[in-house]
Structure 1
């Protein structure tokens, strides 16, 4: 069986999980189950992109270092503050980066292009309307499609969702996975290593990969090359796991019992894939539980 043919048979058997709603802050590496559309503008208001003075651009026309102009400072706006200040011609408001643009102003002149003396502000450069202002909705207009269902949520997505005020998201429920390493030669890590034995490294690796790619490992065990033990664990796990992964016991050795056990208790979809390494791979199914048997 080719790898492409094996995957095609597998895809027909996969059933998509239902969704659950969780806090956005806990959604890292989860699969998004809904499309996300922005319900607000980002930024939600016109804001200053610089530390400087909010002014009317027309007050700066013709201004240069050799031809400065003096206007009056009427107040200050810091980031996060609300203000009732309304500028008229010849006036300026000291403004911080990120602060809301006061009414009447249409631009911000950088602090480096000014000098202050009491309430008198000297301007030394000309600017155009809109200069150094981040307009409302400039980054993300309201109604923009932001994220599509099916993506894996990363840290940057959590920041984006939080900036949009989205506290909860719907994500796919993690598939429950049982992982077994089969072999009389295997010893659990942490125990003394007898002669002619090896430590089990396969199931820790497989379990880590399952968690990395969005699954939830519900059990991880070493089991002996014993038909009854393998069968009992298969039957038990098929009751509470959507995926079972075995490593070892899948080839044609005298103690490779898995193909026979799966044939007797479920259905073998694929046994043997035209690839190296890994040709003895077996893919099966019992009830609704997918079974993957990997060579040890």
Structure 2
């Protein structure tokens, strides 16, 4: 009887553990607040986030801030009120976001920054993670800029100072400074003499990329190369180049979109640097889930991934995620 009783207790404990584990997984809810789901990048990140959470057995709440700092702040307050187990955002304003992280973590809610740093990016080193974050999951944008610069060297003429136009992302994003910083660093390391004749911001869209490239080409018809901070603007820029019958070269970062990869394949963009927003979403979900379930409670983790340069010769190295 003693053996049977002991066995019965063991089976009961195991069953309770399974039930508790299932309930724990089912009860985990993670929130994602996008900058704007109008952008394919943000949508792809959200898709990866939701897919990973489904595989892990948790629930998701996805909110579109529509590129508004106020809406993003309100969304985070709502998620805190709902007592979700974790939040990730693409911060619309990285400085304002410090307060959001503080409020969430004070409420014992894990917080992961996706694709953008938290804090004053003019003062914070690129790999420094705000101490209250569970993790920063991000593309190393300085390195991505370097990869684009190394690619540009292959297309630039030798023996003279070359003229370059930069198609920036939207103002206020750390990647704008970081990608340009890496790009210039690579050109300098290669011994290229260059002049940045124009560097103009966009709103991350093809339409704005086309308009900015038209303006720069009109003022600088002898331009040698455009460097775009993302494939979206490069798609518009390629239209401007064709309309002007120009031979200017075009390289980008923020690559790996289906449209961008197709444009590389067709020769409309000379090359780009692989970016994986769905992978970032998956990594963010895993970091939040592990923190919420106690599997990994480390703070201020820096999580990134490889970003190879891509041309029509190695597109297979960067399957489209967005």
Larger Rg: 1
| Higher normalized strand content (fraction of residues) | 1
TM-score normalised by L of structure 1: 0.27
| Higher normalized helix content (fraction of residues) | 2
TM-score normalised by L of structure 2: 0.25
